[in-house]
Amino acid sequence: MSAAPFAPASAPPAAVASEPVASEQVVPRPDYGSAAYGEAYSRINALVIVGEAMADRHFRRLARLLPHDHDELRRLGAMEGRHAADFVRCGRQLGVKPDLALARHLLAPLQQQFDACEAAGDVVGCLTLQCLIIECFAVAAYRTYLPVADPYAAAITAAVLQGEDAHLGYGEQWLRQRLVLVREPLERCCRQAVPAALSLLERLRADLEALAIAPLELLAEFVACFQQALEAIGYTPRQARLLVARLAGAALA
């Protein structure tokens, strides 16, 4: 991915008003009823719905791989199913039909990577992919979306964000307990999945900007969240910083 996707699009987002939230900070408010907003929302909303449904399936499959934690993982999966339904309602509220076929196509590489890890018995890869990479991506996306969301979606997004913390937390504690053993498969998984996740930002750059989401800010949130997750599982701050820099650098090369 080139650095260009993170440059501002030539056309500004359909912002019609601005709301000052601090002395020097202004949050642009998009025109939620505009055709341009609706079209962009049909693709971003679909990605979120399909991503949440995929997370639901992944947790169910993790529950089979880790019978000791079966009930907890089924509970986390059920939360993801509710997140998907919550975001379906956000689209309906705006009168938008999500482009689910496009979203399935865009998320196929991550889905296929999970399938391959599962087929190879690579539980660490499955957990790293869902609980670290996909969850950090979701947390970064929802944090960046929250200040510019319409009021209906903002309330839902704030609640969903709290759930994502629990999903991230499950992966962190499982991996932390086995750090020496998991380092190699974890980093192997990251080398494939982080570029795949970040390439979505390039593909959807114009749509994100139409929603007043800055792709560069989303990337910065992802880097911060992922680094924090690595530290939580036992990487030193320097090790975490270097790994994230290598992964983000490779994705942007």
Residues 93-122 that bind Fe ion (CB under 5 A): none
Q: How far apart are CA 197 and CA 243, in angstroms?
A: 16
Q: How far apart are CA 80 and CA 140, in angstroms?
A: 16
Residue tagged 């030193």 (tokens): 236
Position with the least CB separation from ligand PL3: 51
Compute how many other C-beta atoms are within 10 angstroms of the C-beta atom of residue 224: 15
Q: In angstroms, give the least distance from the CB of 51 to Fe ion.
A: 8
Give the nearer residue to Fe ion in terms of CB position, either 37 or 222.
222
Q: If we measure between CA atoms, which residue out of 249, 125, 116 comes closest to residue 195?
A: 249
8 Å CB contact between 117 and 65: no
Cα torsion through 123, 125, 129, 135, rounded to 10: 50
Q: Which stretch binds ligand PL3 (CB under 6 A): 10-18, 65-73, 136-144, 179-187?
A: 136-144
Polymer length of the chain: 253
Residues 78-97 that bind Fe ion (CB under 5 A): 80, 83
Give the nearer residue to Fe ion in terms of CB position, either 55 or 201.
55
Q: CA–CA distance from 240 to each of 13, 129, 165, 233, 234 (Å)?
A: 35, 17, 19, 10, 9
Q: Which stretch binds Fe ion (CB under 5 A): 6-14, 20-28, 77-85, 146-154?
A: 77-85
Site string for Fe ion, 167-206 (x = CB under 5 A): x---------------------------------------
Compute how many other C-beta atoms are within 10 angstroms of the C-beta atom of residue 19: 11
Q: Is 164 in the site for Fe ion (CB under 5 A)?
A: yes
Q: Could you give the 3-state DSSP secondary structure of residue 65?
A: helix
Q: In angstroms, give the least distance from the CB of 118 to ligand PL3.
A: 17
Q: Is 44 in the site for ligand PL3 (CB under 6 A)?
A: yes
Site string for ligand PL3, 75-104 (x = CB under 6 A): -----x--x---------------------
Q: Is 58 in the site for Fe ion (CB under 5 A)?
A: no
Give the pair of three-digit tokens for residue 240. 């975490």
Q: In angstroms, give the least distance from the CB of 51 to ligand PL3.
A: 3
Q: In angstroms, give the least distance from the CB of 242 to ligand PL3.
A: 25
> Of 40, 46, 48, 233, which one interacts with ligand PL3 (CB under 6 A)?
48
Give the pair of three-digit tokens for residue 171. 């992966």
Q: How far apart are CA 72 and CA 78, in angstroms?
A: 10
- Angle at the Cα of 17 (from 12 to 22), degrees rounded to 5? 105
Q: How far apart are CA 117 and CA 106, in angstroms?
A: 19
Q: Is 135 in the site for ligand PL3 (CB under 6 A)?
A: yes
Q: Is 114 in the site for ligand PL3 (CB under 6 A)?
A: no
Residues that bind Fe ion (CB under 5 A): 52, 55, 80, 83, 135, 164, 167
Q: Which residues bind ligand PL3 (CB under 6 A)?
A: 44-45, 47-48, 51-52, 55, 80, 83, 134-135, 137-138, 141, 145, 164, 167, 213
